[in-house]
Amino acid sequence: MKLTLISHTLCPYVQRAAIVLAEKSVAFERRDVDLANKPDWFKAASPLGKTPVLLVDSDAIFESAVICEYLDDTLLPRLHPGDALKRAQHRAWVEFGSSVLATIAAFYNAPDAAALESRRAELAGKFAQLEAVLPAQGPYFSGTGFSIVDAVFGPVFRYFDVLERAGETGFFEKLPKVRAWRAVLAARPSIQQAVGSAYAKELHHFFLARGSELSRRIVEHED
């Protein structure tokens, strides 16, 4: 079985699939597409027009959560809990991770200061919810074992590496468990290797190109 991950260099949803593939220690090819100029073969493979897509030989699976579920169903080690209730809870927190990504997008696209601060407060609230459910000891979302939820939040926290260097700080100041979780995820090889060496620079340029309140603040910070 040949696995090909159809990718975009900045897509956090691609990253979660790449992380799960790496945790399974399975060989796969990664193929980037230009989402501004989508080839016909990609449109056929991805009805929603988004990355990631996983090609299993010539069969396509789209949507990152579905891809991760397929990989966990078919390849060891299992990253979801064995217990059905806990597995359902983890799936719910995967969806929560997607909602955090949506808020991050609203943050970097915010057109003015009021909208930016509103999205900042929304992010603070979501991270406070995570602080409340993280285990006291960790190091991962559900304790000692790495899970798909961890694969989802590695790319979430990666945004803040770039945001903090651009002057946007304080998101995790009063959240010690989230800070510790973020640090552990950042050090995990599968998460580090889910992006290329130019990722931080490309994301920085992406933020600047938005023409948003964040773009303006980054320019001021660099001046």
Residues marked as catalytic: 11
Check the CA dihedral 42-43-47-48 and report its sign.
positive
CB neighbourhood size of 197 (10 A): 6
Question: Residue 76 phi/psi, 5° resolution?
Answer: -90, 155
Q: Is there a contact between 199 and 155 (Cβ–Cβ < 8 Å)?
A: no
Strands 59-62 and 3-7 come out as unpaired
Strands (E), the chain: 3-7, 29-32, 53-56, 59-62
Beta bridge partners, 30, equal: 5
Residue 147 CB-density burial (10 A; 0-12 exposed, 13-18 middle, 19+ buried): buried
